[in-house]
Amino acid sequence: MKKVLILLALVFPLALAQNVTITYWQYEFRSKVEAINELIRRFEAQNPGIKVVHQTFPYDAFQQKVAAAIPAGQGPDVVNLYYGWAPTWVKAGYLVPLPDDWAQRLDRDLVAMAQAAKVGGRLYGVPTAVRSLALFYNKDLFRQAGFAGPPKTWEEFIAMGQKLTVKQGGRFTQIGYGIAPDGQDHHLVREVLVRQFGGRPYSDDGKRVLYQGEAGLKALRFYTDWVRKHEIGVPGFFPGNNGYRDGFIAGKIAMIIDGSFALGTIQQGARFNWGVAELPLERPGGRKANFGSFWMHGLTPLATGPKREAALRFLAFITSEETQRYWLEKVGELPASKNLIRDPKLSLHPVYGPFVLSLAYAKATPFVDEAAQRKVMVDAINRVLLQGMDPAQSLKMAAEEEQKILDQFWR
Amino acid sequence: MRLTLAWREALWAFAFLAIPLAFFLYFRILPAFQALWLSLYEWHADPSQRHFVGLEHYARLLEDPLLRRALWNTLLYTLLGIPSQIALGLVIALLLQWTPFGRDFFRAIYFAPYVTPAVAVAWVWSWMLSPHFGLVNELLALLGIPPQPFLQSPNQALPTVTWVVVWQNLGFQVVLFLAGLESIPRQYYEAARIDGAEGWRLFRHITWPLLNPVLVFSVVIGTIGYLQLFTQVVNLNFTDQGGPLNSTLTLALYIYQLAFLRFQLGYAATVTVLLFALILLVTLVQLKLLTRRVEL
């Protein structure tokens, strides 16, 4: 009899929570969709009262669907978003803050860049996985050119790049480095080069632009010289949405800087030996810097009442260390937990290793209006590359423009 | 009271018409007015937290350099695109009408781009226009012309995008003109020939004036199309949409970016109202200026 009572007492709260249905939204990416489907199966088995509906949309339409659905009360309770979108979403009322103990957990367990999930001091989401940048290089082309390994400094990088560039008439047939201002290179300038050259792109509170200083100017000049002076690459060399990556896969580009998220595509496509290395440095032993980013899961204002409880439980499940381990295996994205990335098996891994090592010092740009701020830096680079503007003038324009965006947001 | 047959038929007709009308009012007209209302508010997902800002967004229109750029670009697209597609469409339609064989075959060829998805068109063209691998530069090289950057140049990108759109619209334009040409009664030409008119004069005094309705329709529909230009611009430079350096940005794309990438739906609605007013105004002016009653 007592046993039955205990059983009843255990089952009763679950029975109360019965028939709660929550909705999870993410954009369509096959391995992620499959992973979430499997995770939902596991979660539902552990939480009999909760049903999770999983809906996906093409990447291009994702924000549009969110923008329209949530005000109509039809959207997700838990939503997946790029961390840089969080501030605009928060301002427009699409995300609600997580309970305080979640912020403590984040501070304690996750890599430093995850702090970017906070807006105005409050936490709005948690990542399962994080990403960083590294140098991808074509080992076959390197061997042919007589290089033993990837460049350690930018000086080596330029020398190698020049040797790996082939120009016939006015047209390039092979380039040393896949220049891509609108790929990952705007991050490279803003977060990597500025810091390596001893500067800071933004003030600590993220409210002031600082890259217009000496280090920033040196960074922009240095980067644009790769095209203008050293000719180790040319913008738009290979056509397509991610031409720099496609050109690398096609064997026409010897080196690119890309995120860990590109690993799957490159693994599938490249028909040659390739390697990954930590980003080159200004000089041996110089300062290391990297751009970190992540997709996080946030709670929308639609998750109210019993749905909020269920949504938080689901959120905890899909960000747990166990899930992070599964995610790495299934999707190939690096775990967000400090604990897990300390695993030497991971940091010594030939492909994940360079990314994992960079996570220790990678910083996520404190975007407030990612789309607009991204454009500021892409345009700053393009004014120099395509219009021949002086880097100092272009950078000054960019800093003024971006400061306006920051002021607009924080006013 | 008994209704006459005519009345009953009329009532049935109204009943059936009411359905599409209701649909039209609810899904087209009502949202248009909602946009007007929205443009006076600071957007928030929760309707109760939308602040009324009055004409603040309209004031922002006046000092928004990106908006100015988008307006200017949209004007350029229209001014370049409309005359090109009408001139080319007319020439091709006249040639097709004149050719004694293969008319259907050529018509199908010219129409094919129009029914090809714009995304696919953009993809193929971005390859053909590539400075380093593209067919177009290959051909230019044969003529001894140095490789052109096309979509990668802030100066060439807009005309290049316009060309792709013209190429895609051409098939539709040709079909319109062919239909217009077919509808001109043969007798006019025969009578004119008896009076000794030939070639250019036949075109100038019969074909051209009688094509006026087709021309007006083409200009109005074409202009609206260019004012709403979006898909090709987005896909021809996918990772820097509207670039390089805003050189291909259009009003529709700017609205999209404001609303769905920056979540500023209030201001986006304001720009939409501007676009609405612009289309209305341009269309009315065109209808007034272009429509002619033709008497022979």
- Chain segment A156-176, per-residue pLDDT in tens: 999 999 999 999 877 899 999
In angstroms, the separation between the Cα of residue A17 and the nearest Cα of chain B is: 27
How high is the pLDDT of residue A1? 46
How high is the pLDDT of residue B4? 85
Is the minimum CB–CB distance between A169 and chain B shorter than 8 Å?
A: yes
* DSSP classification of residue A209: B
Residue type, B61: L
Interchain proximity A92–B261, CB inside 8 Å: no
Residue whose C-alpha is closest to residue B121's, from B77, B156, B85, B164: B164
How high is the pLDDT of residue A127? 97
Rounded to whole angstroms, how far apart are CA atoms B282 and B276?
10
Tokens of A15: 């029975």
Nearest-Cα residue of chain B relative to residue A379: B245
Tell how far CA A116 is from the center of its chain.
11
Minimal Cβ distance to A235: which of B147, B152, B259: B152
Rounded to whole angstroms, how far apart are CA atoms A176 and A162?
6
Whole-structure pTM value: 0.91
How high is the pLDDT of residue B296? 59
214-273 of A, contacting B, C-beta below 8 A: 234-242
Cα A260 to Cα A265, A356, B161: the distances in Å are 10, 9, 33
Residue whose C-alpha is closest to residue A332's, from A267, A275, A277: A267
Rounded to whole angstroms, how far apart are CA atoms A284 and A280?
9
How high is the pLDDT of residue A101? 95
Angle between helices A154-163 and A214-228 (to 10 degrees): 10
Rounded to whole angstroms, how far apart are CA atoms B73 and B54?
28
Interchain proximity A236–B151, CB inside 8 Å: yes
- Please tell me whether the peptide bond between A76 and the residue prior to it is cis, using omega within 30 degrees of 0: no
How high is the pLDDT of residue B128? 95
Tell how far CA B53 is from the center of its chain.
33
Strand order in the sheet with A171-177: A166-168, A171-177, A253-259, A133-138, A274-277
Long-range contacts of A337-341 (CB under 8 A, 24+ apart): A337/A109, A337/A110, A337/A111, A338/A109, A338/A110, A338/A111, A339/A109, A341/A111
* DSSP classification of residue B28: I
Angle between helices B157-182 and B65-98 (to 10 degrees): 40
How high is the pLDDT of residue A332? 87
Length of chain B: 296
Residue located via tokens 């840089």? A84
How high is the pLDDT of residue A18? 63
Under-70 pLDDT residues of chain B: 1, 294-296
Minimal Cβ distance to A301: which of B45, B147, B240: B45
Rounded to whole angstroms, how far apart are CA atoms A356 and A366?
21
One-character DSSP codes across B173-209: HHHHHHHHHHTS-HHHHHHHHHTT--HHHHIIIIIHH
Under-70 pLDDT residues of chain A: 1-18
**Number of C-alpha atoms within 13 angstroms, CB side, residue B121?**
20
Contacts of A262 (CB under 8 A, 6+ apart): A136, A245
